[in-house]
Amino acid sequence: MDTKKIEKSFLEIIKAIGENPEREGLKDTPQNVAKFFSEMFSGINKDPADEISPLPVEKSEGVVIVRDIPFYSFCEHHFLPFFGKVHIAYAPKNNVIASFGSLYRAVDVLSKRPQIQERFTQELCAAILKKINPSGVSVKVEAEHLCVTMRKPKTQGSSVVTICSEGIFKEKYNIL
C-alpha cells in the first residue's frame, strides 16, 4: 500500500472541499487517513481460505453454527463503512471441522477491503467450501450501511441481509 500517495491524495481532498489543510485539527489528517487505510484495507490480495484451519476429528455429525461474528467493511461505491454480524452454519463431512478462531480470522481478512455485501457473503461461503469441503454451508450477513444511514433515504437502524448457501443447505436458506 502506497501510504505517501494516500497522504498526498487526501491532502488534495481536504483542499477540494474548501478546508484549510494547515488548520490545527487537519494538519495530521492525511497521515492519519493513510495509517487508517493501511489497516482497514489490509485484506486486499489475501485469500480468506488461507485463514481457515481444518481440524480432523473422530466423529463429525450434525451441524456447526457460529453466530454473531462482528465485522466492519467498506462499501466500494461510497467508501463508507458497513458493519454488522456474520453467521456461519456448516455440516461437516469426512470428520473435518474448522477451528472456530480460524473462521473469525477469515471474516476479518475478507472484511478488510472495499466491496459489496453480496460478494462478501459469497466469498466467505466459497472459502469455507474450499478449505473444509463440508456437506453444506450457509453464510448469513446482516449489516447496516452508512451510505444508506447518512445519505438519503437516511434509514438509520435498517439492515441488509444477504445469504449464500451451498450443498445440502442450497434450498434451506432458513438454516440461519
CATH label of the domain that carries residue 163: 3.30.1130.10
Do both 29 and 74 map to the same domain?
no
Enclosing domain of residue 116: 48-175
Do both 88 and 65 map to the same domain?
yes
**176 residues of the chain, pLDDT tens digit each:** 999 999 999 999 999 999 999 999 999 999 999 999 999 999 999 999 999 999 999 998 899 999 999 999 999 999 999 999 999 999 999 999 999 999 999 999 999 999 999 999 999 999 999 999 999 999 999 999 998 888 877 778 889 999 999 999 987 666 77
Do both 20 and 84 map to the same domain?
no
pLDDT of residue 154: 73
Do both 34 and 52 map to the same domain?
no
Q: What is the pTM of this model?
A: 0.92
Per DSSP, the residues of 103-164 read: HHHHHHHHHSSEE-HHHHHHHHHHHHHHHH--SEEEEEEEEEEHHHHSSTT--TT--EEEEE
